[in-house]
């Protein structure tokens, strides 16, 4: 098994491995409730993490995710392996895990391209795309927007123009698996040593695109409901798939809930560069864009060059990010307090 088929590239060639005797390198291809499937040069294995790795893990991100390169010990006679550690990630797409707790869920690791898939039917949602773009910029990978099901869209140019208004400088490809349109533009981002991930809502056509790129049915595809064009979850787990033309795709389940995990000011600025440019033209550097004289943002809202919906989306993401940062700060303080408590207890035992 050649690991280059699974995305091994020059960046990884330059990564210190520090392997011990009996250790080798593998890549996680799928994960389900703490059990992992991975591939090494010797073949495929079911794997689990070592007790040491589990003990040292403080957060969910300390466990392997799909796309991770890991140091493993193989047990060929059992078709199993043990994961000793995770190699440093050069990119990751994360979201806040569903639920009330503030926990990171790594959707895909070590990716070069994030394909943001949005269907040109009832799935079309500019505000949701803004959220995806902000998170994609934060991942460390490059976003590319795929407008799927182009064959179903009677006003394709209008919708492309609407996306271009909010996705400054992001490549945009309209694709149709039915008409075999746009495939070459997509495969330009793939090839040996490249890893991409499909992200989008249920019914956006991610699994159909995976089958289209593979040239055969790898993933099961369900039809969407006729009343609202919504799809049922076809893909139920994240899975890394090798493409016959080179490169790999990580197919993911549709995301009904996409909450920010973290995003830097730079990521928000890249997603809303038009608003940031306007803000730089305000008379006062600390302008709140409310009632200050000389506010370029308010002027743009009044003359219609900036839509109210886009501005409110920007404010909503700002508030959401600020809330997550405050919660994370509290959790960090509690974690640090617990760490020192452990140290003091250990010191007492050794007196």
Tokens 């994960």 appear where? 31
**Cα gap 68→195, rounded to integer Å:** 11
Cα torsion 126, 127, 130, 135 to 10°: value is -130
Residue 349 pLDDT grade (very low, low, confident, very high; cuts 50, 70, 90): low
Least confident of 84-93, 112-121, 251-260: 251-260
At 35, give phi and psi (nearest 5°). Answer: -105, 140
Compute how many other C-beta atoms are within 10 angstroms of the C-beta atom of residue 120: 24
85-99 average pLDDT score = 82
Domains of the chain as residue ranges with CATH? 3-86 (2.40.50.140), 92-251 (3.40.50.300), 265-346 (1.10.40.50)
pTM of the predicted structure, to 2 decimals: 0.80
Q: Which is nearest to 189 in space by CA: 133, 150, 247, 108?
A: 247
335-342 average pLDDT score = 64
* Chain centroid offset of residue 258 CA: 10
Instruction: Give the DSSP H/E element, type plus range, for residue 346.
Output: helix 308-349
Question: Residue 268: pLDDT above 50?
Answer: yes
Helices marked H in 281-307 — which ranges? Answer: 296-303
Instruction: Give the DSSP H/E element, type plus range, for residue 82.
Output: strand 80-86
Residue 186 is predicted with a pLDDT of 95
Question: Residue 346: pLDDT above 70?
Answer: no
Residue 99 is predicted with a pLDDT of 54
Q: For the segment 131-148, what is each residue's pLDDT rounded down to a tens digit?
A: 889 888 888 899 999 999
More confidently predicted of 115 and 264: 115
| Cβ neighbours of residue 62 closer than 8 Å, sequence gap 6 or more | 53, 56, 86
Q: Name 172's bridge partners.
A: 145
Residue 19 is predicted with a pLDDT of 93
**What does the buried/exposed string (b/e) look like for 169-189 if buried means 16 or more CB atoms within 10 Å of the residue's CB?**
ebeebbbbbeeeebbeebeeb
**Cα gap 293→345, rounded to integer Å:** 59
More confidently predicted of 269 and 283: 283
Residue 9 is predicted with a pLDDT of 86
Contact 117, 200 (CB under 8 A): yes
Share of the chain above pLDDT 70, in %: 81
Residue 116 is predicted with a pLDDT of 95
- What end-to-end distance do the CA atoms of the chain give, in Å? 53
Residue 24 is predicted with a pLDDT of 96
Q: Which is nearest to 310 in space by CA: 320, 322, 323, 297?
A: 297
Residue 233 is predicted with a pLDDT of 45
Q: Which is nearest to 210 in space by CA: 197, 224, 222, 223?
A: 197
Residue 260 is predicted with a pLDDT of 62
Q: For the segment 195-210, what is each residue's pLDDT rounded down to a tens digit?
A: 999 998 888 888 899 9
Question: Residue 217: pLDDT above 70?
Answer: yes
Q: For the segment 20-76, what is each residue's pLDDT rounded down to a tens digit?
A: 999 999 999 999 888 899 999 999 999 999 999 998 888 888 999 999 999 999 999
């Amino acid at each position: 098994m050649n690991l280059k088929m699974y995305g091994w590239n020059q960046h990884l060639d330059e990564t210190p491995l520090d392997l011990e005797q009996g250790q080798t390198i593998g890549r996680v291809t799928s994960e389900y409730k703490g059990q992992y499937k991975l591939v090494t040069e010797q073949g495929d294995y079911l794997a689990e993490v070592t007790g040491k790795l589990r003990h040292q893990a403080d957060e969910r991100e300390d466990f392997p995710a799909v796309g991770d390169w890991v140091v493993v010990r193989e047990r060929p006679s059992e078709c199993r392996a043990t994961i000793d550690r995770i190699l440093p990630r050069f990119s990751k797409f994360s979201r806040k895990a569903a639920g009330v707790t503030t926990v990171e869920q790594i959707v895909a690791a070590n990716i070069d391209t994030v394909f943001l898939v949005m269907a040109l039917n009832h799935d079309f949602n500019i505000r949701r795309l803004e959220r995806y773009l902000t998170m994609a910029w934060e991942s460390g990978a490059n976003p590319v927007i795929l407008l799927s099901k182009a064959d179903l869209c009677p006003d394709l140019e209008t919708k492309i123009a609407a996306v271009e208004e909010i996705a400054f400088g992001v490549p945009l490809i309209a694709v149709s698996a039915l008409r075999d349109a746009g495939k070459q533009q997509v495969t330009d981002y793939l090839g040996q040593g490249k890893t991409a991930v499909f992200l989008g809502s249920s019914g956006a056509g991610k699994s159909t695109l995976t089958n289209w790129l593979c040239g055969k049915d790898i993933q099961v595809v369900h039809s969407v409901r006729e009343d609202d064009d919504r799809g049922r979850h076809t893909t139920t787990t994240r899975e890394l798939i090798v493409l016959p033309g080179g490169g790999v795709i990580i197919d993911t389940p549709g995301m009904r809930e996409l909450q920010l995990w973290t995003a830097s000011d730079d990521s928000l600025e890249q997603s809303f560069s038009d608003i940031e440019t306007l803000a730089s033209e305000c008379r006062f550097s600390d302008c709140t864009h409310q009632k200050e004289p000389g506010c370029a943002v308010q002027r743009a809202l009044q003359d219609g060059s900036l839509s109210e919906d886009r501005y409110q989306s920007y404010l909503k993401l700002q508030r959401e990010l600020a809330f997550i940062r405050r919660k994370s700060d509290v959790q960090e303080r509690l974690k640090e307090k617990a760490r020192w408590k452990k140290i003091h207890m250990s010191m007492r035992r050794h007196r």
